[in-house]
Structure 1
Amino acid sequence: MTLRERLHQQLHIGSWPNGKLTGLNIVVVWTILAAVGVSIAATEPLIREPYNREVLIAELIFGTIFLLEYLARIYAAPEREGPGSDWSKRWRFVISPIGLVDLLVVIVSLAPFFIANAAVLRVIRLLRIVSILKFSRFSAAMREIAGALKERSYDLLVCATLAFVLVLLGAAGLYWIEGAIQPQAFGSIPRALWWAVITLTTVGYGDVYPITPAGRLIGMVVAVGGVLLVALPTGIVAAAFSDAMQRRREAMRKALEEIEGNSNI
C-alpha cells in the first residue's frame, strides 16, 4: 500500500468499518476540541494576559496540525472515488464545502502570526471558533441531520415562506395603523419588522409593542401564527431525523448480518 493510500484510509472515515474514527482522525478531533476551548478561554482577559505566551504556543501547534491535515487530505484526494485526473480530484476537494472549511480554519489559525493589527487579530481569533464546523466530517449525527434537512427542504421552504408572509403582513399592518402614533417603533415597515419577528418567534422583548386595539389584534394574530409556524418545522425535522436514524439502524443490522453470514461460510 502506497503512502497516499494509507493516508486516504486513515483520513477518510468511509474507508473504515462502520465509519469509525482512525488514529489520525482522533488526533484531529481532540485538536479541534482543544483549539475551540483555547479560543473561548483566550477571550477572558484574566486568562489571556497572564498566559499569553502559552496561548500563542498552543495556537501555533493547533494551526500546524490543521495545516498538515489539510495538505494530507489534498495529497490523498486522488484516492477518492469518481472520474477525473489526480489534480482534478484534488481541486474538487479544495473547492468542496468541507475543503473550504478546512482552508478557512488553517487561515484563521495561522494568520495571527503574520498580522500585527490588533483589531483584525481580535476578529481572526473569534473566527477560530469556526473550526467546530470540521466536526461535520466526523460526526455521524451531524451528517444524518444534514441529510434529513435536505430530504425535507421543500417542506421547510414552505414553512419559511409562510413565516415570511406573516411577518411582512404584520409589519405592514402595524406601520399602517401605528406608524403615525409610534414613528420611532413603527414609522416604516423595516422598523416594524423588528417587532414582527420578535412577536412571531414568541420572544417578546417588550421594547416596542402596539397600543391601539387594532394594533393589538394584529399582534395577537402574529403571536398565535408564530406558535403554529414554530411547531411545524420542529415536527418536520424530528420526523425526518427519526426516519434517517431508522435507515441507519437497518443498514447497520444488514451489515452485521452479512458479516455473520460470511463468517459461517
Structure 2
Amino acid sequence: MKRSEIIQVLDGTHPERSDVIAWIMNGLIILSAIAIALETEPGLPLPIHTWLYRFEVLLLLVFAAEYLVRVWASEHPFRYIFSFWGIIDLLSFLPAALLLTPEWQALRAFRLMRLVRLLKLFRSLHALDRLVAAFKEVRAELILFVVIAALMLYVSAVGIYIFEHEAQPDAFSSIPKSLWWAVATFTTVGYGDLYPITPGGRIFTSAILFIGLGIVAVPAAIVTTALLEAETNIGKKKKKKKKKKKKREVAEPSETETDLNETPKGE
C-alpha cells in the first residue's frame, strides 16, 4: 500500500478499501466528548473516574499514533504539520498528554481544549468541501456585507443613545454600552434587559427590527445560492473525470491484445 493510500484509508476516502477505520476513529471522537461531559459530574463514583482516565489514556495513544502515521505518510510532512488539519490532529491528543500530570489537571479551560477533537469529524464529510467552496465563491460579497452590518450596528447604537440616554441614563449611559442593545436587536434575539421607553426610541427600534431581518436573511440567501453553484460545479467535475477515465480505458489496449501483438509470427 502506498503512503498516499494510507491517508485515504484513515480519512475513509479510499475508492477500493473499506472505511471501517474512519468510522472507528469517528466513534472514538464521539465517545471522548461523552467522557469529557461525564467527568464534570460531581457525584461520579471513583471506579468510573478510573475507567474514564484509562479511556483518556487509550485515546491519547490512538490519536498520537494516527498523527505520527499521517506525518510519515504525507508527501510533504512539514506542510501537513502546519496545516489546519495537522494542527487539529496535534491538539486532539496534546492537551490529554499534559492533563496526565497533576499540575495541568486543575485548569478547566485547558481540559476543554480536548473538544477540538470534534472538528476531526468534519474531515470525512464531503459536504464540508462544498461549504468551503461556497464561502470562497462569495467571500467578497460576505466581507462587504459584514462591513455594512458593522456600520449599521454602530449607527443603531448612536441612534438609540440619542433617543434613550436622557430617559434611561443608567441603561444607555454611553454608545459602547448601547452596542449590546444594537446586537441583540439586529440579530432579532431581544433579551429584554434593554428596551426603549420613549416614542422616538420605539419608532427607531421598529425600524431597526425590520433591518435586522435583512441582516440575517441576506447572508443566508447568498450562501445558499453559492452552495447550489458549488454542488453544480462539483457534479460537472465528477462527470469530466468519469469521461476521462472512459477515454483512457478505450485508448489503452488490453493485456491480451498486447501479448498477441508481441507474439512472433512464426509461432
Give the deviation of 1:131 after TM superposition. Answer: 0.8
Per the alignment, residue 41 of structure 2 pairs with 44
Which shifted more, 199-208 or 158-167? 158-167
Residue pairs, 1:10-49, within 5 angstroms? 10-11=9-10, 16-17=14-15, 22-47=19-44
C-alpha separation between the residues in 2 aligned to 1:67 and 1:48?
29
Match of 2:121 among 112, 130, 135: 135
* Deviation per residue, 1:190-249 (Å, 9 max, x gap): 110110000000111111111111111221121111101111000011111111122223
Greater percentage in helix = 1
C-alpha separation between the residues in 1 aligned to 2:18 and 2:136?
25
Query: What's the secondary structure of 2:170's corresponding residue?
Result: helix
Give the deviation of 1:100 after TM superposition. Answer: 1.2
Q: Does 1:102 pair with 2:120?
A: no
Give the deviation of 1:140 after TM superposition. Answer: 0.8
1:99–1:5 Cα change, 3 Å: closer
Q: Does 1:223 pair with 2:220?
A: no
Q: Does 1:242 pair with 2:228?
A: yes
Kindly indicate whether the alpha-carbon contact (under 8 Å) linking 1:111 and 1:124 is maintained by their aligned counterparts in 2.
no
Per the alignment, residue 113 of structure 1 pairs with 100
1:233 maps to amino acid: P
Per the alignment, residue 184 of structure 2 pairs with 198
Match of 1:156 among 142, 159, 162: 142
Structure 2 gaps of 5+ residues are 252-267
RMSD: 2.6
C-alpha separation between the residues in 2 aligned to 1:104 and 1:185?
42
2:157 maps to amino acid: A
Kindly indicate whether the alpha-carbon contact (under 8 Å) linking 1:167 and 1:222 is maintained by their aligned counterparts in 2.
no
The structure having more radius of gyration, on CA atoms, is 2
TM, length-normalised to structure 2 = 0.83
2:98 maps to amino acid: A
* Deviation per residue, 1:82-128 (Å, 9 max, x gap): xxxxxxx32221111111111122212222102435540x2233222
Kindly indicate whether the alpha-carbon contact (under 8 Å) linking 1:163 and 1:226 is maintained by their aligned counterparts in 2.
no
Which shifted more, 50-59 or 247-256? 247-256
1:203–1:113 Cα change, 3 Å: same
Kindly indicate whether the alpha-carbon contact (under 8 Å) linking 1:13 and 1:138 is maintained by their aligned counterparts in 2.
yes
Give the deviation of 1:49 after TM superposition. Answer: 5.6
Per the alignment, residue 83 of structure 1 pairs with none
Give the deviation of 1:12 after TM superposition. Answer: 5.8
How many residues of Structure 1 are paired with residues of Structure 2 in the alignment? 251
Match of 1:177 among 153, 163, 178: 163
Structure 1 gaps of 5+ residues are 80-88
* Deviation per residue, 1:139-160 (Å, 9 max, x gap): 1111211121121111111221
* Deviation per residue, 1:54-103 (Å, 9 max, x gap): 111111111111111111111122x2xxxxxxxxx322211111111111
* Deviation per residue, 1:18-39 (Å, 9 max, x gap): 9x87444333222222212222
C-alpha separation between the residues in 2 aligned to 1:242 and 1:66?
35
Kindly indicate whether the alpha-carbon contact (under 8 Å) linking 2:157 and 2:178 is maintained by their aligned counterparts in 1.
yes
Kindly indicate whether the alpha-carbon contact (under 8 Å) linking 2:99 and 2:105 is maintained by their aligned counterparts in 1.
no
1:248–1:110 Cα change, 3 Å: same
Once the two structures are aligned, what percentage of the paired residues are identical? 31
